[in-house]
Chain A
């Protein structure tokens, strides 16, 4: 039995989930590779050029993320915004709590470059949970 084609919002969301997995995996690989290469580069210009790699990947992720929300339908946009608010709030709270520990107890520094990937992971869990009830 052939399945009917997906509606535009369903297709856009499925496309984004695939892109998100690829982009976050690419980010992890490029981040590790860049950090390794950086140890052998002295030229400030070259260091900036290499650092632009992981930055560009996260900008691409943000672009695709907002494009997907814009293409979704009215009910799903509301759900997306709830998931964004929840994820941003939780990541911000966790980062602030860690910051207090850093300040008062000299806890190890939180790697800030992980904030957006952490947001993406919490957001994915939230959106699956919100939509599974629908």
Chain B
């Protein structure tokens, strides 16, 4: 699933480790999310949306997937 997590993180000046601490997930999870290799659960997607004060659908784009 495509997303703009990397852009949002860099916009705040955070490293992957700093974002991992804020979301209480591992750094590997942040890396996989940013690379589009892992689709987050609904709960994690909402946590990310709240952290960046955006709607989840503004951050994640599942267009082209069934």
Contact = CB atoms under 8 A, between A and B. Distances in A.
Contact of B26 (A3, A4, A13): A13
Interface string B19-37: 0110111111101100001
A7 B27 contact: yes
Contacts of B20: 7, 9-10
Question: Which of A6, A7, A8 has the most chain B CB atoms closer than 10 A to its own CB?
Answer: A7
A73 B41 CA distance: 11
Contacts of B41: 74
B18 interface: yes
Contacts of B18: 4
**B: interface residue count bin:** 10 to 19
Contacts, number: 53
A75 B27 contact: no
Q: For the complex, would chain B's binding face be called helix, strand, loop or mixed by DSSP majority? A: helix
Contact of A134 (B23, B32, B40, B44): B32
Contacts of B40: 74-75
30 contacts: A4-B15, A4-B17, A4-B18, A7-B23, A7-B24, A7-B27, A8-B24, A9-B20, A9-B24, A9-B29, A10-B17, A10-B20, A13-B26, A72-B26, A73-B25, A73-B26, A74-B25, A74-B29, A74-B40, A74-B41, A75-B28, A75-B29, A75-B32, A75-B40, A76-B28, A76-B29, A131-B28, A134-B28, A134-B31, A134-B32
